[in-house]
Amino acid sequence: MGIIIGLVITLGCVLGGFMAMGGHIEVLIQPWEAVIICGAALGIFVVANPMKTVKDAGKGLVEALKYSVPKEQEYLETLGILHAIMRELRTKSRNEVEAHIDNPEESPLFQAFPTVLKNHDLTHFICDYCRIIIIGNARPHEIEALMDEEIHTIRADQLKSYHALVAMGDGFPALGICAAVLGVVKAMGALDQSPEILGGLIGAALVGTFLGIFMAYGVVSPIASQVKTVREKRNRLYVIVKQTLLAYMNGSLPQVALEFGRKTISSHDRPSIDAVEQSTLNAGHAESKAA
């Protein structure tokens, strides 16, 4: 919603200012200039990136439009599943805990936290490192180094679409010039026409330059920044898991270990201690009834 409101404000100010200066809005309606610029940008985008990145860019655009960042409930469920697993690690046998880790989709432990279970990548991340904890041979600093490397890799993969969109945005001004040049070529073929017709053709050509610059800095660049913001916030979930499990490995009680994870959440989004305690308490009751 924020992107749509921002684009409406931007277009309103640009077009409104142009009309206030005495400009005629119909001059800017040059659909074939838009086809040349946007079509060429899309084609270059497909050529320059693997199809997986192209598809992920579409997914990233949808996430940016919806502003699909983790909400308080998602943070609470992430902390809740970690608390439940750490409690199981302290009180249950290895085989009982492994049953949850090896098949999280069928585990009542994970089913109590549907938001986490829906995030398959995060679920696998949690299970992988809990499995290492169960084995019991790895040292905390070794696990931390491994987690950092994996989180870095996940972040790089998640931001490939952002970098691809930025590169496409950087190319829009040049494509606008190409469209303008083609418009000038067309105008040169009409030098024998009246000044009114020739002026209209030159004006139409210059619209290409305007459209290329506007698309680059008024549309693609801010949307790409929003894609990056959303992806960065979603990657924060992995940092929460990392800090919580490392605190547990270093000897902290489950409830204390949760604080290490909770503190990595931005202060604007961080749930309160009471909310975390209430959430884990309710989840504990639900698991007891399921058992």
Model confidence over 24-74: pLDDT tens digits?
888 888 888 899 999 999 999 999 999 999 999 999 999 999 999 999 999
Residue 19: inside a domain = no
Residue 174: inside a domain = yes
Q: Which residues contact 77 (CB under 8 A, 6 or more apart)?
A: 113, 114, 115, 116, 279
CA atoms lying within 13 Å on the CB side of residue 197: 9
Decide if 240 contacts 261 (C-beta within 8 A): yes
Decide if 235 contacts 194 (C-beta within 8 A): no
pLDDT-above-70 percentage for the chain: 96
Residue 18: inside a domain = no
Q: Which two tokens stand for residue 78?
A: 């992430």
Q: Which residues contact 270 (CB under 8 A, 6 or more apart)?
A: 75, 262, 263
Which of 233-237, 264-268, 276-280 is predicted most confidently?
233-237
Q: With 50 as the cut, is the pLDDT of residue 254 above it? A: yes
Residue 14: inside a domain = no
CB count, 10 Å around CB of 213?
14
CA-wise closest residue to 149 among 78, 231, 258, 242: 242
Give the orientation angle of helix 221-249 with respect to helix 140-158, to 10 degrees: 170
The amino acid that residue 163 corresponds to is H
Residue 4: inside a domain = no
pLDDT at res. 122? 94
Mean pLDDT, rounded, for 179-197: 83
Residue 2: inside a domain = no
Residue 9: inside a domain = no
The Cα–Cα gap between 12 and 48 comes to 33
Confidence band, pLDDT 50/70/90 cuts, at residue 79: very high
Mean pLDDT, rounded, for 239-244: 95
The Cα–Cα gap between 187 and 207 comes to 13
Q: With 50 as the cut, is the pLDDT of residue 143 above it? A: yes
pLDDT at res. 286? 52
Mean pLDDT, rounded, for 91-109: 88
Q: With 50 as the cut, is the pLDDT of residue 290 above it? A: no
Q: With 70 as the cut, is the pLDDT of residue 288 above it? A: no
Mean pLDDT, rounded, for 222-227: 94
Helix, strand, or coil (residue 10) = helix
Check residue 215 and report its DSSP letter: I
Structural domain span for residue 159: 30-291
pLDDT at res. 2? 80
The amino acid that residue 239 corresponds to is V
The Cα–Cα gap between 94 and 265 comes to 31
Q: Which two tokens stand for residue 31?
A: 């659909």
Confidence band, pLDDT 50/70/90 cuts, at residue 187: confident
Residue 25: inside a domain = no
Q: With 80 as the cut, is the pLDDT of residue 1 above it? A: no
Q: Which residues contact 18 (CB under 8 A, 6 or more apart)?
A: 25, 28
Distinct helix (H) and strand (E) counts, the chain: 14, 0
Q: With 80 as the cut, is the pLDDT of residue 283 above it? A: no
How far, rounded to the nearest angstrom, does the alpha carbon of residue 284 sit from its chain's CA centroid? 32
pLDDT at res. 287? 53
Q: How many domains does the chain have?
A: 1
pLDDT at res. 160? 95
The Cα–Cα gap between 190 and 44 comes to 31
Q: Which two tokens stand for residue 114?
A: 């549907």
The amino acid that residue 259 corresponds to is E
Q: With 90 as the cut, is the pLDDT of residue 154 above it? A: yes
